[in-house]
Structure 1
Amino acid sequence: MNLYRSARTVAGASGTGDGVIDWQSAADAAKAATEPGSLSLDPGEREGYARDVREARSAVQTAADVEFDVPETIEIQNRHHWIDANVATFERVMGTLETHTETFPGVARTINTGTMTVLLAFLGRNVLGQYDPLLLAETPADDHALYFVRPNILNAADVLDVDSDRFRRWIAFHEVTHAAEFGAAPWLSDHLEARMESGIAALSDGSFNRDAFRDLDAAMTVVEGYAELLMDHAFDDEYADLRRKLDARRQGRGPLQKLFRRLLGLGLKQRQYERGKQFFEHVIAVRDLETASLVWDRPENLPTHDELDSPGLWIQRVER
């Protein structure tokens, strides 16, 4: 890790540039501030990743009764690989904002680049696995991808004192459930993209599109909650202890890490997971998995914000 090189790279972003953020400088600075970690896999470990994904796909297909494809892009990454893969995603999402703004002065561009550097570096050191639907991708071939950040998985398993193979398998199942969701709902990517673009475009015009962000939050709450529902039905081992230890680890973080999580919206993701899980637990209790899966039939079947807290209202609406 070279913090001096990272800071120098960010400072270089104040040169002539038209974008809100100097993306290359942000990626370079984030990598300079982050140890990449090892990718020295033995053949058995590499096959373990492949086996986990194959078996997760089969189990989730059976549980959800839906056909879907596992991404062709399945990568075992170090932290630098993850940063490189995701800086392109952030750039695509922020592209809407950049098209609505004038050229930023050098100082503002440097601040924005520094903020993105902190975000990429923090996430690069903490993300375990990721299903990436490649939202706003330019070509149809860029449909989705699946990443595993091996150094973070091994580090987390060690800190949590759990078997690394079992922990890796749990991560694989969780990310494959997200692939199932997007496979069951071909419209989901377009739905999320439209809400993102509307919300960011409004911000760039100095206003706040409350409906767009509420719709986006509701959709992501469903995505997180339904993934947990499928995990309950598909995973072939106990995992309550894994979830409990991960939650305890988050609660036990230092004040600086908690601040980063709050600034990066990771607390929002935790709230989405908890709220979505409660919604689907109620639906399953009074109906069944088939009823819960109606959320993916069409965009109109997604629960509203009010319905997420009153699942009975959603059930009445979709069963009419």
Structure 2
Amino acid sequence: MSLYESVRAVASASGSGPLDWDAAVDAAKEATPPGRLDLTPEMEAAYASDVRDARERVREVSGVHFAVPKTLEIQNRHHWMEANVPTFRRAFEPLEGQEVALPGVSNTVNTGTMAVALAFIARHVLGQYDPLLLADGDEHDLYFVHPNIVKAADTLDVDFQRFRRWIAFHEVTHAAEFGAAPWLSDFLGDRMRAGVSDLADAKVAKDAFRDLNVAMTAVEGYAELLMDEAFDDDYDDLRRKLDERRNRTNVSSLVGRLLGFQLKQKQYERGRAFFDDVVDARGIEAAARVWDGPDYLPTDAELDNPDAWLARIPRE
């Protein structure tokens, strides 16, 4: 799960006023078992091998040259929180200086909201490649939350090694996208900060968050397209079972709905439908044109009308 949507959801829900980050993290950790990291050297090597294989295969099918981290971090749930909280803090800076009528109440609500969000995401995130959302100076920008991958494979009744490899391929497709579009991180970051700033000024952050949603729909849809082409095994069963897992989460958890799990599913489906139509019309090379620049991203309307996007994008 990307944190872009999560930042949006928590910012919208938490209102105004300061937030006690240390208390939020402590509460989230108290509510969340870290999970076991009983990794053998062979298991660590297998994660790295999956990433290398995915990089070569995605490069081959996409025609995009991109780098992936020379190192990757295999985390437990508490590690994931610690790695991502600095980014949440930067994203929420526009809210920090606000004056509120009931600062004590606001602080409590905001801190509690963040604690619940961190705990929920940390229990569900499987892998992460989100360059913007990492701590400054952190050399690790490809994360795998091992206890969640083990648990998900067991819950879905699928082979762990095959499932782990599939997650690695999915995260490497995101590396390909950011490699093909050097502007993408700044674009997403600007829109996210604009949305949070509008909320801080008591404005409706509709435009910024709409742009963010459209861009993330393209990101997830293109990743799905590359996965179909790159993964070295049929994975219909994995996709079906993971979709069922998401749907169960959405139905059973109010927190899941608030944090955008339903939105995430719609992004996969809507983005993939858009790119399927583009590929049918012009081939997979045309699909990569979305990364030529921000103006090449589809609009919200064009996501549902790929012909309109194709009509304004010149052929190479």
- The answer to whether the 8 A contact 1:132-1:144 is kept is no
Listed as ranges, the matches of 1:41-190 within 5 Å are 41-99=39-97, 101-102=98-99, 105-135=103-133, 141-142=137-138, 145-190=141-186
2: distance between equivalents of 1:247 and 1:311?
25
Find the counterpart in structure 1 of residue 246 from structure 2. 250
Distance 1:286 1:89 in 2: 39
Q: Deviations over 1:182-230 (max 9, x none)?
A: 1110000111111112211111111113222211111000000000011
Matched with 2:7 is none
CA RMSD for the aligned pairs?
1.9
Q: Is the 8 A contact 2:174 2:219 kept in 1?
A: yes
Please say if residues 83 and 134 of structure 2, whose CA atoms lie closer than 8 Å, have aligned partners that are also in contact.
no
The partner residue of 1:283 within 278, 285, 289 is 278
CA contact (8 A) 1:129 1:171 kept: yes
Where in structure 1 do 4 or more consecutive aligned residues deviate above 4 Å?
141-144, 253-256
Give yes or no for contact 1:282–1:311 (8 Å, CA) kept in 2. Answer: yes
Residues 136 and 204 of structure 1: CA distance in aligned 2, closer, same or farther (over 3 Å): farther
Specify the code of the residue in structure 2 equivalent to 1:75. Answer: E
**Could you list the per-position Cα deviations for residues 31-53 of structure 1 after superposition, in whole angstroms to 9, with x for gaps in the alignment?**
11111111111121111101001
Distance 1:254 1:190, change over 3 A: closer
Distance 1:123 1:237, change over 3 A: same
State the partner residue of 1:209: 205
By how many angstroms is 1:231 displaced?
0.5
Residue 287 of structure 2 aligns to which amino acid in structure 1? A
Amino acid at match of 1:269: K
Aligned residue type for 1:69: A
Residue 23 of structure 2 is matched in structure 1 by: 25
- TM superposition score normalised by structure 2: 0.90
158-167 or 262-271, larger mean C-alpha shift: 262-271
Which secondary structure state, in structure 2, belongs to the residue aligned with residue 145 of structure 1? coil
Match of 1:200 among 196, 203, 207: 196
1:107 CA drift (Å)? 2.1
Q: Which moved more, 1:69-78 or 1:160-169?
A: 69-78
Structure 2 unaligned spans of 5+: 1-15
Contact 1:133 1:144 (C-alpha < 8 Å) held by counterparts: no
**Offset of residue 72 of structure 1:** 4.1
Shift of 1:132: 2.1
Which is further off, 88-97 or 276-285?
88-97
- In the alignment, what sits opposite 2:4? none
Q: Which has the higher contact order (CA 8 A, sep 6+)?
A: 2
The correspondence of residues 299-310 of structure 1 with structure 2, limited to 5 A, is 299-310=294-305
CA distance in 2, matches of 1:143, 1:223: 23
Do 1:185 and 1:297's aligned partners in 2 also have CA atoms closer than 8 Å? yes
Measure the CA separation in 1 of the matches of 2:126 and 2:19. Answer: 26
SS of 2:129's equivalent in the other structure is strand
Structure 2: distance between partners of 1:207 and 1:90: 20
Aligned counterpart for 1:229 among listed residues 207, 210, 225: 225
Residue 290 of structure 1 aligns to a residue in which SS? helix
1:143, distance to aligned residue in structure 2 (A):
7.8
Partners of 1:75 and 1:147 within 8 A in 2 = yes
Aligned CA distance change for structure 1 residues 96 and 254 (closer, same or farther; 3 Å): closer
Give the unaligned 5+ runs of structure 1: 1-17
- What secondary structure does 2:144 align onto? strand
| Inter-partner Cα distance in structure 1 for 2:75 and 2:270 | 31
The match for 1:295 is 290
Identity within the alignment, %: 61
Read off the aligned partner of 1:206 and give its amino acid letter: A
